[in-house]
């Protein structure tokens, strides 16, 4: 009798372990369901700047929170990071961080919100911040294949039906 009780306890314990691992696996799968896929435009400015003006269809992940991007964006997504203008380096730094996190397709739009607005492309927000009106020439330097111009970004957005 004593042996039967021990076997039952061992079997029940094993069943609990198996079921709990199934439940935890389901939770991990559930987390992936809500992740953004396809082309994802990420504004890395603080929320105050994002709320004032951002490229239509983009999301806000402030630079200090980029480390948590995997809670919002699928690893297979194509990401375009941008910030305010050519003087801002947050988008390039965010790209590096995202690549280090395992994202494979990460681009940078260095012209940022200011250039996008100045070209007359669609934005969301009242657009009151001073930097938006400042003309910022594109700095001289080597073009890298992960850098997008406003026209290239606009074309990607149209192809992905974001615009």
CATH code assigned at 80: 3.40.250.10
Sheet containing strand 78-82, strands side by side = 59-60, 39-43, 78-82, 105-109
Residue 152, number of CB atoms within 10 A of its CB: 13
Task: Report how far apart, in Å, the C-alpha atoms of 12 and of each of 15, 17, 20, 83, 112 are.
Answer: 5, 9, 12, 55, 59
- In the numeric block, which tokens belong to residue 63? 């630079």
Question: Do 116 and 72 reside in the same domain of the chain?
Answer: yes
4 plus 42 within the same structural domain: no
Query: Residue 141's pLDDT is what?
Result: 84
Say whether both 76 and 8 belong to one domain: no
At 3, is the pLDDT very low, low, confident or very high (cuts 50, 70, 90)? very low
* Nearest residue to 62 via CA among 41, 79, 47, 80: 47
Whether residue 11 sits in one domain with residue 55: no
Q: What is the mean pLDDT of residues 37-47?
A: 98
In the predicted model, what is the mean pLDDT of the chain? 85
| pLDDT at residue 6 tops 90 | no
Domain with 70 in it = 36-159
- Strand 54-55 versus strand 105-109 pairing type: unpaired
Per the structure block, which two tokens stand in for 104? 């494979």
Could you tell me if 79 and 21 lie in one domain? no
105, 79 Cβ separation under 8 angstroms: yes
For 54, the 3-state DSSP assignment is strand
The mean pLDDT value for 22-36 works out to 55
* CA–CA distance, 81 with 43 (Å, rounded to integer): 6
Residues 126, 62: one domain? yes
Q: In which band, very low, low, confident or very high, does the pLDDT at 137 lie, cut at 50, 70 and 90?
A: confident
State residue 53's pLDDT score. Answer: 98
Q: Count the domains in the chain.
A: 2
């Amino acid at each position: 009798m004593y042996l039967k009780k021990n076997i039952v306890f061992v079997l029940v314990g094993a069943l609990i372990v198996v079921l709990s691992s199934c439940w935890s696996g389901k939770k991990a799968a559930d987390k992936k369901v809500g992740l953004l896929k396809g082309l994802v435009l990420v504004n890395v400015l603080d929320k105050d700047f994002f709320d004032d003006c951002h490229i239509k269809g983009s999301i806000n992940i402030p630079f200090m929170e980029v480390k948590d991007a995997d809670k919002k964006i699928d690893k297979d997504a194509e990401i375009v990071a941008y910030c305010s203008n050519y003087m801002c380096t947050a988008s390039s730094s965010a790209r590096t961080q995202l690549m280090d996190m395992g994202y494979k397709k990460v681009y940078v739009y260095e012209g940022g919100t200011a250039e996008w607005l100045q070209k007359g492309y669609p934005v969301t927000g009242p657009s009151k911040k001073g930097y938006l009106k400042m003309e910022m020439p594109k700095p001289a330097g080597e073009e890298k294949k992960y850098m997008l111009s406003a026209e290239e970004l606009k074309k990607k957005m149209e192809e992905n039906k974001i615009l």
